[in-house]
Amino acid sequence: MPRPTQNPTGIDRNRPESTGIDPNRPESTGIACPDRRVGPTVTDSAPSAPNAPEDQTSSAAGNPDLGRFGSFGRGVTPQQAKEIEALGYGAVWVGGSPPAELAWVEPILEATTTLHVATGIVNIWSAAAKPVAESFQRIDRAYPGRFLLGIGVGHPEATAEYRKPYDALVQYLDQLDEYGVPADRRVVAALGPRVLKLSAERSAGAHPYLTTPEHTAQARELIGPSAFLAPEHKVVLTTDSEQARSVGRKALDIYFNLANYRNNWKRLGFSDDDIARPGSDRLVDAVVAHGTPEAIAARLKQHLDAGADHVPVQVLTKAENLIPALAELAGPLGLTPS
């Protein structure tokens, strides 16, 4: 694939930076940090739900309208958020199992006008529902309709306290109902059929992680035409395939021993050889897009063609190169700068 003749951002696409991915981001239907082992608990009383303002970000079906593309990462500064908004991205997704007190969301929303913030995700084992709900309500009162609560569970390898994840997730959703978090203002991290269906029944929809457009098509069929679907996809801005795969493998390394990811990749048709560490070229290329900005944009748009409403884009690069990389992608993605 030829290199572009111009590179206004100064990023050398044949020398990708080491990834800034959070190594504690493993998940099956969500994420779980190995050092966080607090199980979800029912608290004694729910805070009274505030008078909910009309959701200014809902689509006709009542689902979040985050635009077609967002930025996914460990976190952004308020200044970066302003620049992401100016480029035309609709949302910032923050991974890394944030704590129940979501005060870090507010400076991002304060610095921007229309940008949405979503958690990708709050881990139900480490963040009890009551303080999460209280944070949600405080944020929503100050910035109506601009915060989307993403929640999820982990996997057996992550914590000694992990138990019956589906039942725990249902219990957590029950608590969010009790504490006044509207179903259409939350999403569930989901890979497998059972949790995908639950996400459509008990929330706005699903936020799959580390999947492919083929998974997006299957998920859309399972959750129906109306539920919200926002699959994350990783990218490396380089036309050097070997360099891109090297960066991609570093980002994927922690996932190869996690049963739920392995099972999901097998459902997508990958073999045992494909999913054995360090991962086959076929697998890495499927879940980490690389090439010119135009080629990467075409890959990301395949999720939309498969039924996604919104695609959080995780650029595997150093923090200082995030905005230049997103700027290179904005035009090919069809975004309109403000």
Residue 21 in this model has a pLDDT that exceeds 80: no
pLDDT, position 31: 28
If one compares 5 and 269, the residue with the highest pLDDT of the two is 269
pLDDT, position 162: 58
Query: 267: number of CA atoms within 13 Å, CB side?
Result: 17
Per-residue pLDDT tens over the stretch 51-78: 333 333 333 347 899 999 999 998 899 9
Per-residue pLDDT tens over the stretch 105-154: 999 999 999 999 999 999 999 999 999 999 999 999 999 999 999 999 96
Amino acid at position 62, single letter: G
Kindly report the number of other CB atoms within 10 A of residue 168's CB atom.
18
Amino acid at position 206, single letter: A
Angstrom distance (rounded) from CA 92 to CA 110:
13
CATH topology of domain 69-330: TIM Barrel (3.20.20)
Categorize the per-residue pLDDT at 11 as very low, low, confident or very high, splitting at 50, 70 and 90.
very low
pTM more than 0.85? no
Per-residue pLDDT tens over the stretch 133-146: 999 999 999 999 99
Angstrom distance (rounded) from CA 59 to CA 277:
41
124 and 153 Cβ atoms separated by less than 8 Å = yes
DSSP state of 150: E
Angstrom distance (rounded) from CA 102 to CA 138:
9
Taking the domains of the chain in order of start, what are their residue ranges? Answer: 69-330
Structure tokens at 5: 């003749």
Query: 336: number of CA atoms within 13 Å, CB side?
Result: 1
Structure tokens at 10: 């100064």
**Sign of the CA dihedral 224, 230, 232, 238?**
positive
Per-residue pLDDT tens over the stretch 185-224: 999 999 999 999 999 999 999 999 999 999 999 999 999 9
